[in-house]
A and B are shown apart, each in its own frame.
Chain A
Amino acid sequence: MSVMSDKMRTYRSHPMSLVFNILTKIAVTLTIGIFVLIVGYVIIKGVPYLKPSLFSANYTSDNCSMLPAIANTFIMLLAALVIAAPLGIFCAVYLVEYAKKGNRFVRLIRLTTETLSGIPSIVYGLFGNMFFVLALNWKLSMLSGACTLAIMVLPLIIRSTEEALKSVDDSFREGSYGLGAGKLRTIFVIVLPPAISGILSGVILAMGRIFGETAALIYTAGTVAKYAGLSDSGRTLAIHMYSLSNEGLHMNEASATAVVLLVVVLLLNGLASLAAKKLSKGGN
């Protein structure tokens, strides 16, 4: 009680401090409130429309089935990660294990990854349309889309892998060298295993971005609502939702799709931070 009255006395003589304190509390309430509002609204509005017909095997303009789009999304995820994950992880391995700290090449790569992560997704879409679709003549296809997305998520994977590798204590490496292992063996057998959860956290984050991406895909992978192979045009779930809400005729189906999209993305993000937490515990 005395602490409380002490505080009140301070605030009485410094009213601005009280105002500032209250303002920060309002801001936090707003931020958290907005999150709860968006997630709550999308789920409450959408769940009643999650009907079995939305998951029928083929898309027609009547049932607006999202199953083809979901299948395409998984192909897209797989294809983009098959390209981006090895590139990103190997790039980080080079930066942390081989390059001398602070040399010019490292700084150049850091600059370019920062640039890449700042480029808006629509610019990736434009570039993908010019380069993969037209210049390489891959047409509107899942492959064009996957390559575009692979470049887009590259900085995410590089950065998280770098952090994970840096968190592996140097005594591990020294011990390995001391026992006579080569550099390559040290990297694959000693350094990468304890870093795996951090790397995974980056890859999962990348999955979340791919899952929710629209602008980069409309003009690279296209909007056809069919099961698509790598060389066909096909829509992912996010584009499916955009098309539905853009036509304006199927708002209920769009809100049901929003639920699926939101829940999967939130789960992926939660999983990523769980993996990251595991890394920081393992590091200590």
Chain B
Amino acid sequence: MIITDTENTAAKVLTKELHCGNKSGRILEKGMKALFFLCACVSVAAVVVICVFMFAKGCPAIAKIGVKEFLLGSDWSPRNVPASYGIFPMIVGSLYCTAGAIIIGVPIGLMTAVFMAKFCPKKLFKWLMPPINLLAGIPSIVYGFFGMVVVVPLIRNVFGGTGNSVLTVSIILGIMILPTIVGMSVSALQAVPDSYYEGAVALGATHERAVATVVFPAAKSGILASVILAVGRAIGETMAVIMIAGNSPIIPESMLDGVRTLTGNIVIEMSYAEGLHYDALIGTGVVLFVFILLLNLCFNLITGRKDKG
């Protein structure tokens, strides 16, 4: 299947002798190889440039405002004199909403994944998987719209308040992370060798018990990776959130209070921000970016360990 290195070199030598004997051909081969290499470098360059720009612009602003004041200050009023830039309410807001999304999305997603991977008849699988995958394709603006016209009035009528609340955001985000969790967990569950399941059944476990206590734990690193990816999606989601969150920069006291997330802070104020205010928004982006990078690191550690073990 795989060309070994020696075969590869042999092929290279042969190729050179046979076809690239003429100079222009050899130059073309070399030139195209360089071009392919350059294109491969673009993604590396993009990450470097994004990091440099975010940190170079955001960190001085954070330093100017004061790290403690910026991260732990609970007053965000950039238009006051003197202005105050504390993003603690937004950090808390983002964490609340993400936690809510996980509480709602993960159990449903994992149970769905278990059904799809282990209980589902093959014929049904063909019909059920595409809609789940399509959930991932629906634009976030459409989720936001759906939340605005369906979930917000529902929460308002059932629980009172304005309806723009942590709970509303959690529900919509919980739905949005479903395809991520189901997709990855299904492949993780399917990758567990059948012998595990057969062993458990042979020892007298029921079908469900074998899946829940033997197959599921064996797939735990893949499942954990899917949850981490889902956290990343929930914390970074912007448009759907600002349409239903209420967006006042105050720490929410209950599930029914309005909330502003880190992402919402950036979008709402970017249009008129200037000077230090603009830089403080970049600083908000840096905090978000650091969260995401940490999540990525966790993800890589988990999937890396799986590859080795």
Contacts and interface: CB of A to CB of B under 8 A. Distances in A.
B285 to A, nearest CB: 4
A254 B235 contact: no
Contacts of B140: 212, 214-215
A183 B146 contact: no
A119 B289 contact: yes
DSSP majority for the B interface? helix
Contact of A116 (B11, B43, B57, B263): B43
Given A213-B139, A273-B133, A122 B266 contact: yes
A96 to B, nearest CB: 10
Nearest to A19: B208
A265 B115 contact: no
Which size class do A's interface residues fall under? 35 or more
Nearest to A45: B149
A31 B12 contact: no
Interface residues of B, number: 97
A87 B33 CA distance: 13
Interface stretch (B64-72, B159-167, B237-245): B237-245
Contacts of A158: 43
B184 interface: no
B238 A258 contact: no
Interface in B254-309: 263, 266-267, 270-271, 281-282, 285, 288-289, 292-293, 295-296, 299-300
Given A38-B143, A118-B299, 17 more contacts: A25-B115, A31-B182, A32-B128, A34-B135, A35-B131, A94-B33, A112-B47, A118-B292, A120-B233, A120-B288, A125-B266, A183-B15, A212-B141, A214-B239, A245-B148, A261-B141, A262-B142
22 contacts: A20-B209, A27-B111, A34-B178, A35-B131, A41-B150, A87-B42, A91-B40, A120-B235, A120-B237, A120-B263, A121-B238, A127-B50, A130-B53, A131-B49, A154-B42, A174-B7, A180-B15, A182-B29, A184-B32, A208-B137, A258-B145, A262-B139
